[in-house]
Chain A
């Protein structure tokens, strides 16, 4: 028994020593902190003469998702190339428990501005922006929540309208489908635009709509199996083109399209280029582009020009913040029709709804 007791003490002691070593190292760097104190002051200044240090925090999934996060990174890289920005991008832990801490670490390291990718950053950006009032923040897909926060929003309904026009023009059966990842206000914008676009070409077209998970349950963005089942049903019922706004679940939609020998429309990035499965590339007729890269780059450029937060920047068709991908050339023959629709939206002669009719 005594041996066991010693055992326990010894084990604790080892770990204790380790932690003390940790504390000692932390202490030594605080000693050096006095000499380094001018560093954050230089980074904190938001004048355009100071070196531009841009920080970006990804959502769960991080870099390499071939979609949303990678699009944001493309904008960051462009800022590095064209604006000479010093960039740093961080991915959160798999459980997403440290989103706020990543933002703070970027702020403490002198990065300004700082961008949070995805609406999950909403609350953390709000809290961090209040803690660091001298730093400018931006959040993608969420509205501004403070005087130093810029909301980067996208007119998904306008791009989806064009996707609807393309689907209706290309559909032989007059029957198309829409697969949404999660039934929330954001994805309903996609549905509303698609719906209006299809009806503008074929008023009597049949549109199947399916959402993979209800509002608040975000597993619908990462469930290719559910996406496949939903799309399979639509193709069996006679739809020949299905548009998805379901993140990673879209892979299932493409698989169903390949199996049925029919077509699908991708979302967010040019999925015909980004998807790695070569047999699925040909089923992607076009993709509705959501130019997160443009949003990120324009925000950084505006920051360099001295812009301050507190408002939302909406990226719509007018600034090519949304649009259709032409890779594969499958929609080249209806280019005139698409350009006309786009012109109508930009002119204001066509107003696209943001909520579905039914």
Chain B
């Protein structure tokens, strides 16, 4: 298939150009900040001198990638049918605190305990996403506006819940607040044994390599199967590509909006769980925020496909991990955010350019063929 190969080479070239330009843009920023771009590049690949430091660095990379991947998936489900679920941020926070609270109120064997926590998180996330969905289908409220507003509500409600009704016991003089810690049966087993296969020592970082990584991989495969291999997935794709054609084909648009939004919210509910079930055991003051917004960039970069999102999440996590390494090399860590922004922007532009270029090539080839046959 020469045309397919052409297309593949074009995309490859586009991506390489995008990344090279992104690195060039950042080099300018690094030089402006008084650093050496080559040192900065080296810092990204510097995982430390000892086996222990490397094991910790690798665990940190994957532990960061897992929530980013789930966030990317949640956003992508909406994007696939042109629904802009900006509310992933609020959905995951409110789901995380409810799941952490419910999980701390009872003790059951580990599989049941963890299953209940996961189900609570998905249900709460899904229900919170149901609000903008219902508003959209019944009153035509733009989901971008409603989900942004609902984010503020969710952030403040969870801040109230963690210091009010859902708060745990505090040691004398402790200033941070959190929910009551989960019982040991609520903690997801870690994957530290994997490091043994590569001759590395197990990471000593709290929680090690989070076991939720396995859940994330399963989730990615399931979502790929649902989107690409089921009638529901086809209906989502069809509604996204051409809404009126989908309706003419008998797809109920309102039902699809609600289903896609709740599906997206339910996945969003899982974003906070790797951290809670992996190391902290509770939702508290230091809970990681902002993952919902990062998920938008990850989904864009991954082109709304699970495999692409996985690569994008790993790339973002790889860049984020260098926060400390860059500072050891005396380079301001804000460089990371510049690189992330530049890559997303340039990859989107490169995609568009290569798509148009490939389309023109294809048209020319078809025209030539027509001339030959005529």
Smallest CB gap from B315: residue in A: A15
Partner of A95, one of B48, B204, B290: B290
The total of chain A residues at the interface (CB under 8 A) is 68
Q: Give the chain A neighbours of B288 by CB distance below 8 A.
A: 95-97
Q: Are A142 and B15 in contact (CB under 8 A)?
A: no
Name the residue of chain B whose CB is nearest to the CB of A16. B311
Known contacts A8-B305, A11-B308, A131-B205; decide if A109 and B328 are in contact (CB<8 Å).
Answer: yes
Is the C-beta of A175 less than 8 angstroms from some C-beta in chain B?
no
Which of B7, B52, B54, B284 is A6 in contact with, Cβ under 8 Å? Answer: B7
Q: Are B4 and A2 in contact (CB under 8 A)?
A: yes
* Cβ–Cβ contact B323 & A216, under 8 A: no
Task: Give the residue name and chain of the B residue nearest to A1 (CB).
Answer: B4
Residues of B within 8 A of A29 (CB): 45-49, 54
Q: Are A7 and B8 in contact (CB under 8 A)?
A: yes
Cβ-defined partner of B177 (8 Å) among A5, A109, A216: A216
Q: In the complex the two chains form, what is the Cα distance from A93 to B60 in whole Å?
A: 14
With contacts A19-B315, A109-B328 known, is A30 near B289, CB below 8 A? no
* Alpha-carbon distance A186/B307, docked complex (angstroms): 48
Query: Is B358 close to A, CB under 8 A?
Result: yes
Question: Please, how many angstroms separate the alpha-carbon atoms of A349 and B45 in the complex?
Answer: 60
Residue of A nearest to B160 (CB): A217
Segment with Cβ contacts to B, from A120-128, A234-242, A302-310: A120-128
**CB within 8 Å of A: which B130-163 residues:** 159-160, 162-163
**In the complex the two chains form, is B315's CB within 8 Å of A109's CB?**
no
**Contact in complex: A14, B7 (CB < 8 Å):** no
Task: Tell which of A70-78, A98-106, A336-344 binds the partner.
Answer: A98-106
Choose from B307, B315, B320 the contact partner of A93 (Cβ within 8 Å): B320
Q: Which one of B168-176, B210-218, B256-264 contacts A?
A: B168-176
Instruction: Provide the bound-state CA to CA distance between A151 and B268, in Å.
Output: 38
- Flag if B163 contacts A217 (CB, 8 Å): yes
* A14, A96, A109, A123: the one within 8 Å of B19 (CB): A14
Complex interface: chain A residues within 8 A of B58 (CB): 26
A121-139 residues at the B interface, CB under 8 angstroms:
122-124, 127-128, 131-132
By a CB distance below 8 angstroms, the chain B residues around A9 are 8
The chain B residue sitting closest to A108, CB to CB, is B53
Asked if B339 is an interface residue, CB under 8 A from chain A, the answer is: no
A260: interface (CB < 8 Å):
no
A122:B176 contact, CB within 8 angstroms: yes
Nearest Cβ on chain B to A235's Cβ, whole angstroms: 29
**Number of B residues whose C-beta is below 8 Å from A?**
70
Known: A6-B7, A8-B308, A22-B318. A131 touches B204 (CB 8 A): yes
Complex contact A108–B48 (CB within 8 A): yes
Question: Is there contact, CB below 8 Å, between B52 and A108?
Answer: yes
* B32 within 8 Å of A (CB atoms): no
Knowing A109-B48, A214-B163, A216-B177 are in contact, say whether A11-B204 is a contact too (CB < 8 A). Answer: no
Q: Does A246 make an interface contact (CB < 8 A)?
A: no
A/B pair count, beta carbons within 8 Å = 188
Give the residues in chain B near A95, CB-CB below 8 Å: 288-291
Q: How far is the CB of B204 from chain A (nearest CB, A)?
A: 5
Contact of A11 with B286 at beta-carbon distance under 8 Å, contacts A29-B49, A186-B175 already known = no
- Which of A33-41, A195-203, A277-285, A316-324 lies at the interface with chain B? A33-41
Within the complex, what minimum Cβ distance (angstroms) separates B58 from chain A? 7
Contact (Cβ within 8 A) A120 B54 = no
Q: Among the listed stretches A84-92, A248-256, A287-295, which one makes contact with chain B, having 4 or more residues with CB under 8 Å of it?
A: A84-92
Min CB gap A45→B, angstroms: 15
Contact mask B28-51 → A, CB, 8 Å, 1/0?
000000000000000011111111
Whether, in the assembled complex, B249 has its beta carbon less than 8 Å from a beta carbon of chain A, the answer is: no
User: Contacts of A106 on B, CB cut-off 8 Å?
Assistant: 324
Of chain B, the residue at the smallest CB distance from A5 is B4
Beyond A14-B12, A131-B206, A215-B163, whether A3 also contacts B318 by CB under 8 A is no
| Contact across chains for A92 and B7 when beta carbons are under 8 A apart | no
Is the CB of B370 closer than 8 A to any CB of chain A? no
- Cα of A91 to Cα of B335 in the assembled complex, Å: 13
Report whether A40 and B1 are in contact in the complex, using a CB–CB cutoff of 8 Å: no
**Across-interface contacts of B57 in A (CB, < 8 A):** 26, 105
Asked if B314 CB lies within 8 Å of chain A CBs, one says: yes
Interface residues of A in 166-222 (CB under 8 A from B): 184-186, 214-218
* A26–B60 CA distance with the chains assembled, in angstroms: 14
Which residue of chain A has its CB nearest to the CB of B41? A25
The CA of A214 and the CA of B311, in the complex, are separated in Å by: 41
Do the beta carbons of A91 and B327 come within 8 Å of each other? Answer: yes
- Using A13-B12, A91-B333 as known contacts, say yes or no to A105 and B48 having CB atoms under 8 A apart: yes
Contact A120–B333 (Cβ < 8 Å): no
A18 within 8 A of B: yes
Q: Which residues of B contact A184 (CB under 8 A)?
A: 175
- The B1-38 residues at the A interface (CB cut-off 8 A) are 1, 3-5, 7-9, 11-12, 15-16, 19
Please name all residues of chain A whose beta carbon is closer than 8 Å to the beta carbon of B320 when the two chains form the complex. 93, 98
A12 within 8 A of B: yes
Q: Closest CB-CB distance, B304 to chain A, in whole Å? A: 11
Complex: how many Å from CA A220 to CA B55? 38
- Complex interface bits, B238-282 against A, C-beta within 8 A gives 1, otherwise 0: 000000000000000000000000000000000000000000100
Cα of A22 to Cα of B61 in the assembled complex, Å:
12
Which B residues are in CB contact (< 8 Å) with A186? 175
B17 to chain A, nearest CB (A): 10
- Measured CB to CB, the closest approach of chain A to B45, in angstroms, equals 4
Q: List 21 A-B contacts (CB under 8 A).
A: A7-B7, A10-B12, A11-B303, A15-B311, A15-B312, A15-B314, A25-B45, A32-B49, A37-B49, A37-B50, A90-B327, A91-B333, A92-B323, A95-B290, A95-B291, A96-B288, A105-B57, A109-B48, A120-B286, A142-B173, A216-B163
